[in-house]
Amino acid sequence: MASDEKSLVIIGAGFAGLAAGIYGRLNGYNTQVYEMHNQPGGLCTAWKRKGYTFDACIHWLVGSSPDSSQHSIWKETGVAQGREFVYPDEYCRCEGAEGRTVIFYSDAGKLEEHLLQLSPRDADTIRDFIRGVKMCTQFDFPADDDPPFVRFRKSLKMFFAFMKYGKEFRKWTNITGEEFANRFSDPLLKEAFMEIWIPEFSIVFMLFTFAWLHIRNAGYPIGGSMPMSKALEERYIELGGVLNYNSKVARILTTDGRATGIRLVDGTEIPAARVISAADGHATLFNMLDGKYLDAKTREQYEKWPLFHSLLFVSLGVNRKFDDLPVTVSGISFPLKEPVMIADKVRERLPVHIYNQDPTMAPEGKTAVTVMLDSDHEYWKKLYEDPAVYVQKKDDIAKTIVRLLEQRFPGITEQVEVTDVATPLTFERYTGNWKGSFEGWIITPENAYTMTKPMPQMVPGLKNVYMCGQWVEPGGGLPTSIMSAKRLLKTICKEDGRKFRST
């Protein structure tokens, strides 16, 4: 590909990279995407084992409702077309040792009623939480494809929403999940709220999650992650984009403070007028660019900002239907009879996601089951110094998980047909994500300003190199990745004096 003014080389075929390719093609740019793996999607991925599909990403998709502003990005990128969504009545269940169960209903009214019945003495905290959820239902940004009158009406509504709820919004942004959970006097409610949210993550995103569930704008897509990733791939290729798999980028080439192209690990050099990295942020800045283009602010982010936790992901194929269990968005958490050391941490509970909402995940009459635990990347990195020890630890953990599931699901041991364990190193190896983090930066009260003042997408001190995706969009999520790519292509079109097109 010649290095003409319309050429874009894009690193990474995750959601952000493919979206950058799609919007690039829609605006007349010659695009090539280079992906280290042999399939699309990045962290939005799944794999098959003996007829079972184990999904590592999607629990719900924000923007599933055709009435929402986010839905337009899924139409533009080809994800929405032909997608079937289901809307479980429950987000999750947190079972207590004493027989009580906290049910996090998707409907805010039903959730409020249930929580008040469980703990009347926590009424003030419960009602405050529900008010926050209902506040978040008022925020619906206009979409690019809205008719002018609709855009005006939505913009006006947003203006008044910020005027009315601005102070309340800032209040919730500055409260972490752990701080909010500690407000409850009921020990099971405190434990449940700690269980379902990352302790240091701003609670405002939990409010938005329940707001989207309440208005049925966070459905689960039947088929899970990989069909959505494939849909992006198909849309991109349909538009004439070029996609190169098994093509890991080693360096971004520069001359006189300007990008000139990329070099692959096999030594192949590809010229380009512009380079967009939708790959891991740390690898982009510290490896592909040798750490030469970092201002103080960017360096501070990589030194001090907290990451989403890396994951230990245990999957099981079970010859069982689980028809007796409710369908939930993210599963059931149950207490263990006694604390158990699993990998690097002592666990007192076990969260289980049972895919009884999706018959495509397992052969007929059977069910895919996953247990997702946070686990330290450095622990697994040290284990991997001896690969045999690493493999043995994975095997031991799979056996431990099956043994513990027997406490809650008697008979499951004999019904397990296949087990699979993915560690933080697994995710790092297949996606390149720094320390195995699954969504980049967590938004905390300290960096919450990025919600209103987006991070820059240009690499400091270097022309024609850009970044999009979760490393320049704290808070993570699939919609964020798409919107990040769209935001970047608007910038590039503006630089070139071109009118941006999204369809």
Specify whether domain 7-46+225-306+439-495 bears CATH 3.50.50.60. yes
CA pair distance 268, 262, nearest whole angstrom: 8
Residue 406: the pLDDT is: 98
Q: What is the dihedral of CA 356, 358, 362, 363, to 10 degrees?
A: 100
What are phi and psi for residue 120, nearest 5 degrees? -55, -30
Q: Provide the b/e sequence for 320-344 (b: ≥16 CB within 10 Å).
A: bebeeeebbbbbbbbbbeeeeebbb
Give the bridge partners for 14, in sequence order. Answer: 41
Residue 421: the pLDDT is: 98
Q: pLDDT exceeding 90 applies to what percent of the chain?
A: 87
Residue 453: the pLDDT is: 77
CA pair distance 501, 22, nearest whole angstrom: 11
Give tens-digit pLDDT for 186-217.
999 999 999 999 999 999 999 999 999 999 99
Give DSSP secondary structure letters for 353-406: EE-TT-GGGSSTT-EEEEEEEE--HHHHHHHTTSHHHHHHHHHHHHHHHHHHHH
Say which range, 81-85, 161-165, 473-477, has the weakest mean pLDDT: 161-165
| Averaged pLDDT of the chain | 94
Residue 331 DSSP class:
-
Is the pLDDT at 268 greater than 90? The verdict is yes
Give tens-digit pLDDT for 420-477.
999 999 999 999 999 999 899 999 988 887 766 788 999 999 999 999 999 999 988 9
Helix (H) / strand (E) element for 97: namely none
How is the chain split into domains, by residue range?
7-46+225-306+439-495, 104-215, 311-431
CA pair distance 475, 443, nearest whole angstrom: 5
Give the Å distances, CA to CA, from 373 to 257, 353, 474.
43, 11, 21
**Mean pLDDT score, 3-24:** 92
**Mean pLDDT score, 407-417:** 98
Residue 4: the pLDDT is: 65
Residue 213: the pLDDT is: 98
Residue 375: the pLDDT is: 97
CA pair distance 85, 218, nearest whole angstrom: 9
Using DSSP's 3-state secondary structure scheme, residue 61 falls into: strand
**Mean pLDDT score, 43-51:** 96
The alpha-helical segments, DSSP class H, found in 435-477 are: none
Label residue 2 by pLDDT band (50, 70, 90). very low
**Mean pLDDT score, 302-318:** 95
The tokens describing 301, both together, are 């982010």
Q: pLDDT exceeding 70 applies to what percent of the chain?
A: 96
Residue 153: the pLDDT is: 72
Give tens-digit pLDDT for 366-406.
999 999 999 999 999 999 999 999 999 999 999 999 999 99
The tokens describing 289, both together, are 């660019």
Is the pLDDT at 144 greater than 70? The verdict is no
What's the length of the chain? 503
The tokens describing 144, both together, are 């690019």
Give the Å distances, CA to CA, from 403 to 330, 346, 366, 408, 410.
22, 16, 19, 10, 10
The tokens describing 312, both together, are 């230990």
Label residue 1 by pLDDT band (50, 70, 90). very low
CA pair distance 258, 100, nearest whole angstrom: 62
111 closest CA partner among 184, 213, 180, 187? 213
Residue 5: the pLDDT is: 66
Spacing of C-alpha 438 from chain mean position: 7
